[in-house]
């Protein structure tokens, strides 16, 4: 170490805590089969491993990294709505995966210098248990906490850390926000339009009765949405449709 250089912060502790996700876990196989909508829930028998209901509360794990100089960084492990469907990782239940963080990940992170997000993220992304990569939710949340920790160690922002380590140029422009309507895709589209959301609408169309056998209900919805935007916001609001 050269004179005047400051020692880099190190990871002192890693803590995992159960939380709730912003949305819900839906058993897509059951919804495509015989589950029926009943208000906001679905009545039917779960068909995907781990589900106790067709729609149940989404779970998350908050990851906290404490550094040896007393700073704390945060990340949230969260999975997709249709966990366990279409080749996705299994249902992300906190009680199943907190032990993975505590027994597998915590030991390999404690003592690590917070000198490089990319180096530490690669350590997590390449880590395998019984030949399998970590659940995508774990990789997402743990590397998120690592990024926050590296940024705090360097007294900079997470954006600047990513730009520096991946050779990117910073652009001071807003990032387009993509909104989700859930099942109530008409009323919630109005809310998006009033707030002039950049990208819309992530409408929940999860079975053929909402899509139409030939896609006719989706086409009808898109045409309605186009007219609704003009009715509410006029012709100077031009969001992306996706």
The enclosing domain of 129 has a CATH number of 3.30.390.10
Mark whether 225 and 114 lie in a shared domain.
no
Per the structure, the count of domains in the chain is: 2
Whole-number Å distance between alpha carbons of 189 and 228 = 9
Mark whether 71 and 190 lie in a shared domain.
no
Q: What is the pLDDT of residues 48-65, one digit of tens each?
A: 999 999 999 999 999 999
Mean pLDDT for the chain overall: 93
Pick the closest to residue 88 from 144, 24, 137, 125 (CA basis): 137
How large is the average pLDDT for residues 111-128? 98
pTM of the model: 0.85
Mark whether 136 and 191 lie in a shared domain.
no
Mark whether 120 and 228 lie in a shared domain.
no
Mark whether 183 and 158 lie in a shared domain.
no
Q: Which domain holds residue 212?
A: 178-241
Strand order in the sheet with 72-78: 11-26, 55-67, 72-78
Mark whether 161 and 184 lie in a shared domain.
no
pLDDT score for 209? 80
pLDDT score for 4? 45
Whole-number Å distance between alpha carbons of 206 and 7 = 52
Cβ count within 10 A of residue 239: 20
pLDDT level of residue 3 (50, 70, 90 thresholds): very low
Mark whether 138 and 50 lie in a shared domain.
yes
How large is the average pLDDT for residues 87-103? 96
Q: What is the pLDDT of residues 131-177, one digit of tens each?
A: 999 999 999 999 999 999 999 999 999 999 999 999 999 988 888 99
Of 166, 200, 224, the position where a domain reaches its end is 166
């Amino acid at each position: 170490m050269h004179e005047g250089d400051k020692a880099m912060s190190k990871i002192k502790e890693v803590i995992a805590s159960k939380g709730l996700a912003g949305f819900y876990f839906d058993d897509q196989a059951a919804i495509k089969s015989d589950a029926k909508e009943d208000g906001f829930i679905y009545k039917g028998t779960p068909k995907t491993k781990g589900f106790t209901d067709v729609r149940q509360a989404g779970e998350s794990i908050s990851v906290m990294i404490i550094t040896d100089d007393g700073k704390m960084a945060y990340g949230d492990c969260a999975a997709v709505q249709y966990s366990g469907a279409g080749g996705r990782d299994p249902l992300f239940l906190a009680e199943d995966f907190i032990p993975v963080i505590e027994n597998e990940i915590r030991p390999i992170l404690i003592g690590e210098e917070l000198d490089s997000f990319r180096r530490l993220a690669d350590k997590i992304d390449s880590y395998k248990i019984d030949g399998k990569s970590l659940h995508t939710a774990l990789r997402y949340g743990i590397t998120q906490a690592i990024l926050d920790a590296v940024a705090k160690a360097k007294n900079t922002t997470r954006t600047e850390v990513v730009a520096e380590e991946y050779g990117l140029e910073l652009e001071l422009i807003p990032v387009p926000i993509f909104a989700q309507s859930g099942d109530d895709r008409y009323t919630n589209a109005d809310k998006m339009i009033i707030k002039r959301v950049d990208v819309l609408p992530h409408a929940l169309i999860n079975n053929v009765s909402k899509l139409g056998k030939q896609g006719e209900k989706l086409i009808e919805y898109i045409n309605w949405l186009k007219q609704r935007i003009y009715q509410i916001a006029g012709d100077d609001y031009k969001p992306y449709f996706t």
